[in-house]
Structure 1
């Protein structure tokens, strides 16, 4: 099959691997966490100050214990997901401080917005995960915000959890709150109930938040997304190959730490590295450079036997307009086609991760549904080849009234909810609705129809008691 995407040759992979090993072995990675440094020292890694140096054999030995596939359990067992292998998982947009309203107004996000985002994720037929902190309301107390958003996620969704720790303390909160929901810490540690994005600071720094989160979550038996965002020409070399080396070196450093803490910790490598518009000194996430980085990352992840995170409904646009649709379609479609296993930021994100839009969410969601269908192999059987029907009807016939047409008309084709397919006259008579208009109405309908998943009232009460205790502790500390 002709594949116009760059495919790394074996020698290309070996060159990138050798470059990663040289960076890890000679340049080293800074870990701004005393426990992380102690763990490396105890395992015979060279440590100078807060900089850790990795020998190739140490890296490869650690990777031997990292699984190539794993499950993330959901409260509803039917929604448990498998990451790795031939599987892919879609997680919604995350981390935006702003909302873009239907009229285009940008404003600070609120807790109501966070809950509405979760309602869309929970009711989505195409999104697999519920993400804590899809928006980050700035009016929440910073000391309790992560716990409050996490409690809302557990309450509003029974899908697998994408966590949102900003610090070691937040990672501990996740484990404690998950233990409330699942009944005990022992149950939580049996196999992961959450996967959490850990972001190094490029170039080559794991701050106390990132390093501490890796340690606590690995120790607690949870899965990790070791996810770098190197910006070519800003926080990494101007060359995409050099940026790919830096991204992979950072990811591998985090995976190694996780394996030292708890061998077998499920880890996803990769990230969301991209080019930069040096006229503006800003990242460009809706760019072809991100797609090139993604293609290298997915191939190198396979080289190391790890699942890969990349792509999403990514755009630099500030409204759910044609630019947003174009860029999101490119980044989502090509990332899935390249073999990404875990897609963070799949739905709703705008403005290079700075804003969330409910209308964009459902538009991206429909794109995700179409891509899921497009990536399903065509069934080739005696029945689907339909030779009997073709022979019987022959040339010039209509197949519309055939029984098989009626039987398969709702399953053979993808039927969009938002995209308009009727003729021009009817579209004009309907007032020439734009996709954003249809999306706005669909959001209202979805939020009105949302039903909170079942949760034992005692568990919800315990979650809220935990939040109250965190608030009280925060007030006392202040």
Structure 2
């Protein structure tokens, strides 16, 4: 792997030096030019020494602070932080039908995330509502996450004005902007415009985050054969170059800005042109991204429970397990698309959401290994039972049977004799678990005056009153 990494690294440096990258924002071009990059119009060429000097100031890890300190997280330690599916305009129902996502879906996922311990980041775009005003949608979604959750917050990219408004909104629950700059509260994902471009909104988002010391995830989501070379090596070199250019820009603006590098590419299916995130090539790219990030000393994001399946089927299960296991074994720091994704990132599913939590639970159990101590070795129990004895009725079994073996997060998995098929039984239990968790949701306490400030802020920024009323 070392020689592979070095070759991809060298190729990425050659791309940035000889081919360059376009930034559709004059401010970004000027900043990089002043740092020693070569500029031709909006195309920036990175000399190796300039690039490596810039990215060297990116921190190896950073803390993302939550309103509830118990949910604050350290990103960059090799222990994964999970964030659910992102950017989905549709919902796939339990019977396989697809519909547009709405605000109630977004709110449901915010409530589900709040109630699940190992999901520490809320907000983002698990479901893109189609029934609220698109101009103010991002602001309303961030407000929803702030009001209904006390975990770390993921926001959305946008214009400079939109991102600054989201920051000012978050500051209402963070002790003001000065305190928020000391304790980063908002993380956002931007994507490069492959091949070798970054659009104006992505640059705006990156710049506002860097100026205010808030972490930013910079992702190359290339498609082999369409937006990147068909070969995996060429695609990884291209994706790595794009990501490094973004990291360099953050550090040129403000050295030490928390940043996460992400190469989350997949092949394009040459028969259909569709993205193929269930391919084993995607899993290999996850391993490579994680290894490259360790080489540079920068936290990484990639992987998830990716699948091209269009409903909760065996395909959805084995593809999701493949990529998530690779992500966890590779030491990925931030795993977006950890729960709920179907149909090549195009849709979320409540049932798949619960199934993916089961996958994560199993993999965490495997990763923990065998707990070794006097109690778990149970030598005294073994001696007492002796050859030919039995452990079923021994008190040691009674004391440990609900602790030691892995327990499914999905309840009622014991199937009674019936004509119901195994998959129908599974889907029904997954749906029942979703309903139970949403019903058990408890809204975190937030001072009433803060709630009022948030709603008034939304009114000032033009969010329609009918949308604000949905934040009951």
Do these two structures clear the TM 0.5 threshold for a shared fold by scoring above it? Answer: yes
Residue in 1 aligned with 2:268? 276
**What is the aligned counterpart of 1:457 among 441, 448, 455?**
448
Question: What residue in structure 2 maps to residue 107 of structure 1?
Answer: 99
Q: What value does the CA root-mean-square deviation take over the aligned residues?
A: 1.9
CA contact (8 A) 2:84 2:338 kept: yes
The SS at the match of 1:227 is: strand
Match of 2:4 in 1: 12
SS at match of 2:403: coil
Deviations 1:278-329 (A, max 9, x none): 1001111111010011111111111111111111111111112222112111
Alignment match, 2:224: 232
- Residue 445 (1) aligns with residue 459 (2): no
- 1:398-430 superposed Cα distances (whole Å, 9 cap, x missing partner): 2233333333222212211327654x6x34388
Structure 1 CA distance for aligned equivalents of residues 158 and 100 of structure 2: 19
For residues 178 and 339 of structure 1, what CA distance do their matches in structure 2 show?
30
- Change in Cα spacing, 1:263 to 1:381, as seen in structure 2 (3 Å) is same
**Which of 334, 343, 353 pairs up with 1:342?**
334
Correspondence 1:332 to 2:324: yes
Structure 1 residues 472 and 13, CA gap change in structure 2 (3 angstroms): closer
Using a 3 Å threshold, how does the CA distance of structure 1 residues 419 and 331 change in structure 2: closer, same or farther?
farther
What residue is the counterpart of 2:210 in the other structure? 218
The whole-number CA distance in structure 1 between the counterparts of 2:153 and 2:403 is: 30
- 1:323–1:262 Cα change, 3 Å: same
Match for residue 436 of structure 1 among 427, 438, 463: 427
Aligned residue pairs total 464
Structure 1: which 5+ runs fail to align? Answer: 1-7
Q: Is the 8 A contact 1:27 1:53 kept in 2?
A: yes
Residues 349-360 of structure 1: pairs in structure 2 closer than 5 A: 349-360=341-352
1:3 corresponds to: none
Alpha-carbon offset, residue 381 of structure 1: 2.8
For residues 392 and 156 of structure 2, the distance between their equivalents in structure 1, rounded to whole angstroms, comes to 51
Checking the alignment, whether the CA contact within 8 Å between 1:175 and 1:217 is kept in structure 2 is: no
Query: Larger deviation: 122-131 or 396-405?
Result: 396-405
Aligned residue runs from structure 1 range 395-410, under 5 A = 395-410=387-402
| Distance in structure 2 (CA, Å) of the matches to 1:62 and 1:201 | 21
Q: Structure 2: how far apart are the matches of 1:183 and 1:458?
A: 13
Q: TM-score scaled by structure 2?
A: 0.94
Alignment of 1:169-208 (within 5 A): 169-208=161-200
- Any residues of structure 2 matched to 1:54-69 within 5 Å, and which? 54-69=46-61
Distance in 2 (alpha carbons) for counterparts of 1:26 and 1:321:
46
Distance 2:281 2:420 in 1: 40
After TM superposition, the structure 1 = structure 2 runs for residues 409-420 of structure 1, keeping only pairs within 5 Å, are: 409-418=401-410
1:38, distance to aligned residue in structure 2 (A) = 1.4
Asked if the contact 1:36/1:212 (under 8 Å) is kept, the reply is no
Q: Are 2:19 and 1:27 equivalent residues in the alignment?
A: yes
Matched residues in 1 for 2:312 and 2:458: separation?
Answer: 35
Deviation digits for residues 333-367 of structure 1 (CA, Å, limit 9, x no counterpart) = 12111111110011111111111111111111121
Confirm or deny that 1:471 pairs with 2:470.
Answer: no
Q: Secondary structure of the residue that 1:283 maps to in structure 2?
A: coil
Q: Which runs of 5+ in 2 are unaligned?
A: 466-472
Deviations 1:86-125 (A, max 9, x none): 3210001111111122332211111111100111111113
Find the counterpart in structure 1 of residue 309 from structure 2: 317
1:263, 1:88 → 2: CA distance? Answer: 25
What does residue 298 of structure 2 align with?
Answer: 306
For the pair 1:286 / 2:245, whether they are aligned, the reply is no
- 1:259: how far off? 0.7
Three-state SS of the structure 1 residue aligned to 2:49 is helix
SS of 2:328's equivalent in the other structure is helix
Change (3 A) 1:63 1:407: farther
Would the alpha carbon gap of residues 363 and 472 (structure 1) be closer, same or farther in structure 2, given more than 3 Å must change?
Answer: closer
Task: Return closer, same or farther for 1:146/1:18 CA change in 2, 3 Å cut-off.
Answer: same
2:123–2:141 contact (8 Å) kept in structure 1: no
Of 132, 140, 144 in structure 2, the residue corresponding to residue 148 of structure 1 is 140
SS at structure 2 position matched to 1:244: helix
Q: Is this contact kept in 1: 2:36–2:50, CA < 8 A? A: no
2-structure distance, mates of 1:301, 1:312? 17
Distance 1:431 1:292 in 2: 35
Distance 1:246 1:28 in 2: 11
Change (3 A) 1:125 1:366: farther
- Asked whether the equivalents of residues 127 and 365 of structure 1 are also in contact (C-alpha less than 8 Å), the reply is no
CA distance in 1 between counterparts of 2:417 and 2:411 reads 12
